[in-house]
Structure formats: structure tokens, C-alpha cells
Homo-oligomer: A and B are copies of this chain.
Amino acid sequence: MAHAVSPLAPTSTPDAPAIEGVRFATAEAGIKYRNRTDVLIVALDEGTEVAGVFTRSKCPSAPVEWCRQNLSQGRARALLVNSGNANAFTGRKGRETVRISADHVARVFGIDPATVFLASTGVIGEPLDPGKFGAVLDEAAGRLAATPWIEPAKAIMTTDTFPKVATRTVDLGGVPVTINGIAKGAGMIAPDMATMLSFVFTDAPIAAPVLQALLSAGVETSFNAITVDSDTSTSDTLILFATQKAAGRGAPRIEAADDPRLQGFRAALHDLLKELAHLVVKDGEGATKFVEIAVTGAASDASARRIGLSIANSPLVKTAIAGEDANWGRIVMAVGKAGEPADRDRLAIWFGDTRVAVEGERDAGYSEAAASAEMKKQDIRIRVDLGLGEGAATVWTCDLTKEYVAINGDYRS
């Protein structure tokens, strides 16, 4: 099931530094794949605090339920992730696998099972044998390391065509702290793979409730502002771990979300989340174009966002982009179907810097050549102004190609 690397992949993977209090190992458990790592175990030093956001699916996977339950106490000592099996829609057996796996990790590290976080990505509906972990955990725990970060990013891949790593170093009360993140995208192959996973680690001494506030705000303009195909996984998981270790180097402990010293950290975290989210889009199945959709002049930010996602999820818009067609009529259609306040006669639409429609009709100065040139680019910018209010939002997506259909429909035929 090898796929060519996405044409939108970055040319290199950043060399992220070690984070004090975070060590990891990867292993080949043979859960589904052969000759590649499929298990990631991360050990977190005592004192690590944690925040998370999870899929809104009403049918979440067993590991998602486990993490939600443990998140309330805000402490984390380990993370176990596997690829190849999502442990979703696996009933009682799935819950049992989660419990056995967490117990195993707890035993190996001598920690409380309630501080073990779990994530699984891969096939839905296949029982996940906890014995697969048993066979590799003890050995892996004996060779934990703090780098290189490309290894955890590789172990969690399913049909991703490149590993996704991002890093930032930022000042916190006069002390440099580091934030590293890894992510995997939604890929789907026989019979079912569907999950966005992302894990972010920092040495910053920030209390769990503050981490949660930072993460919940940051996800809105990053992972919740991207869409590949409008389908929501049963397993989407984003967890932020803070080892607090930078306190030993003099960084201040942050216990309030409105602490002014957080300004730089917040910006860096949100920027890193956005970078990871963009990498997920750039590895969208069959994608050949990265598309930014900026909506302005809407009745509210929430309205702008819904209109943006209506455009980003429209198969007709996405196929037009694949065909390099400056098809603004389909943008109008997608604005109209969003169900949000819109006045056709105030609507304006741009491809790149070329305004193609204004005040409810085709722009008299519209240049088909300029719009077509814009569509030939790899990065496409679409802007829609509603002319109603101050609401604004930006979302990102990729195009819809025959390759997407082939990846998701052909493999059994």
C-alpha cells in the first residue's frame, strides 16, 4: 500500500530538540504493518501536567473514552500509541484492551494506570490484541531516548506519506522553553483507517487548567479549521503534555490563563498547532492543491467559519480546484447553502488577488487569464467577503481528485 509522497510535502522534517522530562521509544509490534514501527511509548517525568481535546463523534473509540476519563485529574506519566488498529467499535473487548494496555504500561514504569494516556489509529471494528503491546513494551522501555523526534512521528503514521513534526522555542518569563509536536493525518485504507492524532510536548511549567484553555483556544484556528473530506473520525485526539521541567531553569509557574507572561507561549503554541494542521491537509488523500479560504464581512466569526467550511467541504468546489477551474459560481452555491446570513447582492469573491465577482454579479474587470493563472498554483487562496459585518474566519482544505476516490474506493475492487 505504498503511496508516493504528497506533492505538497515539505522538503525536510525539522530537527526538534530534546524536551526535559520526555523520553520515548518506538517498536515493531506487527499489529497490521510489517517492517515498520507501529508502537510509540512515551515516558513523562513525575509532575507532568496534561490537557486534551478529542473527537466530537458520538461513537468515539475506546482509547478516546479512556483519555477523557483520565484527563480530569490533569496528570500524565506515559503515552502509548499504536497504528494499524483504531480499537474503535470494538465493544467490551475494546475497553478490556485499553485497561490491560494501561495496566501493562503502569507496571513497566511503576506508575498509576490512570496517568497513562492511550491512542490508537487504523482499522475500525477489528479487535486489538493487547498481547501485541505486551511483546514489545518491556524491551522498548529499556531504550528510551529524548531524540530524534522523527521516530515517534513515523510510528504513528498510517497512510500518511510523510512524518509530521513541528517545533518552537519561546520565552516564558525570561527563560526559553520548547514546544514540540507530532501529528498524523486521516488516511483510509482497507478496510478502514480514520484518525487525526497529534501530541504536543513542552517543558514549560504551566498548570493543567491553563494548558486546557490554551489548547481549546488553539484548536479552533488550527485542527478545527481544516477539512480534507468533511468526515469526522471516531478517534481524533490532540493531547498537550507539559513536563514543568523548565521551572528548574527559572521559568515561572503559570497558573492563570490570563497571565500576561503567557503571551509568547500562547502565540507559539497556536502557531505550532496551525503548522501541524496544515501538514495534515498537505497529506490529504490524493491532494494536489493546498487551499486557504478566508471569509470576511460575515455576521459573526462563527458564521464566517461555517461559510468557510461549507466552501471547503463542497465536492463541487474541491473538484473545480483539482481541475484548476476558477469556478466562482460554485463558491456562490456553497455560500448560499451554508444557511448563514448572506446577501447575494453584497457578495464579493477573489481567487488570489483577482476579484472575480462583486455586488451579486461577475466583476466587470474580471480577467479570466489572471484567475486561471492563480488556479495553476499549488497554494490557492480564495477570499469571500459577505459585506454584512465584522465576522471573519480562515479555514484550510485540499482539492478532491480522482486519486482520492481511488484510494478510498478501489482497494477492494
Contact = CB atoms under 8 A, between A and B. Distances in A.
Given A232-B337, A319-B409, A336-B60, A192 B347 contact: no
A406 B320 CA distance: 10
A406 B315 CA distance: 12
Contacts of A190: 325
Interface string A208-251: 00000000000000000000011111100000000000000000
Nearest to A323: B409
A125 B357 contact: yes
A336 B359 CA distance: 40
Contacts of A230: 230, 313-315
A7 interface: no
Interface string A282-316: 00000000000000000000000000000001111
Given A408-B323, A409-B320, A232 B328 contact: no
Contacts of A347: 59, 89
Given A325-B409, A333-B233, A409-B322, A345 B91 contact: yes
Most interface-central of A93, A333, A341 (chain B CB within 10 A) = A333
A67 to B, nearest CB: 16
Contact of A58 (B91, B191, B344, B412): B344
Given A93-B361, A361-B125, A413-B323, A329 B58 contact: no
Given A58-B335, A336-B60, A322 B405 contact: yes
Contacts of A353: none
A338 B89 contact: no
Nearest to A330: B192
B337 A231 contact: yes
Interface residues of A, number: 76
B57 A337 contact: yes
Given A325-B191, A336-B60, A342-B59, A319 B234 contact: no
Contacts of A191: 325, 327, 329
Contacts of A357: 89, 125
Q: What are the 9 closest A-B residue pairs judged by CB atoms, nearest first?
A: A124-B329, A59-B336, A57-B336, A91-B361, A192-B329, A323-B409, A232-B337, A319-B409, A319-B408
Given A230-B315, A332-B234, A360-B91, A60 B344 contact: yes
Nearest to A321: B409
A340 interface: yes
Contacts of A412: 323-325
A400 interface: yes
A324 to B, nearest CB: 6
Given A89-B329, A91-B345, A329-B88, A408 B337 contact: no
A334 interface: yes
Contacts of A324: 412-413
Contact of A234 (B91, B125, B333): B333
A404 interface: yes
30 contacts: A55-B336, A57-B336, A58-B337, A58-B343, A59-B332, A59-B342, A59-B347, A60-B344, A89-B332, A89-B362, A91-B360, A124-B332, A125-B362, A188-B330, A192-B333, A194-B329, A230-B230, A230-B315, A231-B316, A231-B337, A234-B333, A315-B404, A320-B408, A323-B413, A325-B413, A400-B405, A400-B409, A401-B409, A404-B405, A405-B405
A339 interface: yes
Contacts of A125: 328-329, 332, 357, 361-362
Nearest to A362: B125
Nearest to A93: B361
A299 B351 CA distance: 43
